[in-house]
Amino acid sequence: MHSSKEHVKEFFASFATHAQALNNDASIEIAICPPFVYLEQAATLCSTSPYIKLGAQDVSAHQPGAFTGQIAASMLVEMGCQYTIVGHSERRQFCQESDEEIARKLIAAKAAGLTPILCVGETKEQRIADLTEKVVVDQLKSVLALGSDVFKGTILAYEPIWAIGTGLTASPEQAQQVHRLLRQTLAEYDATVANTLPILYGGSVKASNARALFAMPDIDGALVGGASLNASDFWAICESAI
C-alpha cells in the first residue's frame, strides 16, 4: 500500500528507460504489481514498453457480483493485467485468508486468463520450531488438492515471512533448500510441471544479494517488495538476472 499518482508516473518513466537494455531478451520477464487504484494509470504508462507486464496485488475468489470492496479477475484483465499475486503473507496474516480461500482465488485468476503468483512461507516462530518444511508443503498441497494441472501457467513464490521488510534475508542456501523441497513435492504429482514451474524467492531481495540468489539451481527469479519502489534499485535486481 505504497505510491501516489506522481510516483507511478516517475517510476515508469525511469524504469522504462532502464528496461530498454533488455533489447527483446525473452529469457527475462518483468511484472509490476501496483495498488488497484493505480492499475489503469500504470497500464497506460507501461504500454509503451514491451519489457514490462502488469499485475495485481490480489484478486477475488468470486465472479462479479455482490462482493463490495473486492476486485474480480475479469476486472483485472480489463485493466490490462496479465498476473496477480495470490496468498501474499500479508493477506494471510492481516486478512486471515485461509489456504482454501487462496486456492479458490488461484482458480478464479486462471479461469480469467491471469497468471497467478502463489505465495507460500513460514513465520519466524515456525522456522525456530523447525516447522518450515511442514508449513510450506501444507500450503502447497492445499492447492495441489485441486490437481497438479492448476500449476500449469502458474508461478510459485517462496517468501519467508520473517524476511519480509525486516532487512533479514534467507541465505541463498536456505532459500535453495526450500525451493528444492517445493519442486520435489510438485514432482510427486507431476514431474513435468515441477521441472517447468518458475519458483521465485521473496524476502528483502536487493541488488546486493539478488545475483547470489539467482545462482541457485531452483531459484528462478524474485518477488521484490520494498526495493521495487525505486526504479533504479529495482532495475539493478532485474539486471542481476541477465
- Where in the sequence numbering do the catalytic residues fall? 88, 159
What nine digits make up the cell of 159?
517468501
Pairing mode of beta strands 115-120, 30-32: unpaired
Long-range pairs, 68-72, Cβ under 8 A, ≥24:
71/36, 72/108, 72/112
Of residues 211, 199, 198, 205, the one with CA closest to residue 225: 205
Contact, 192 vs 218, CB < 8 A? no
Residues 142 and 118: beta-carbon distance below 8 Å: no
List, in order, residues 6 or more apart from 72 with CB less than 8 Å away: 59, 60, 62, 63, 64, 108, 112
Sequence-separated (6 or more) residues with CB below 8 Å from residue 160: 121, 122, 127, 132, 170, 175, 178, 203
Bridge partners of residue 115, in order along the sequence: 83
In contact, 168 and 159? CB cutoff 8 Å:
no
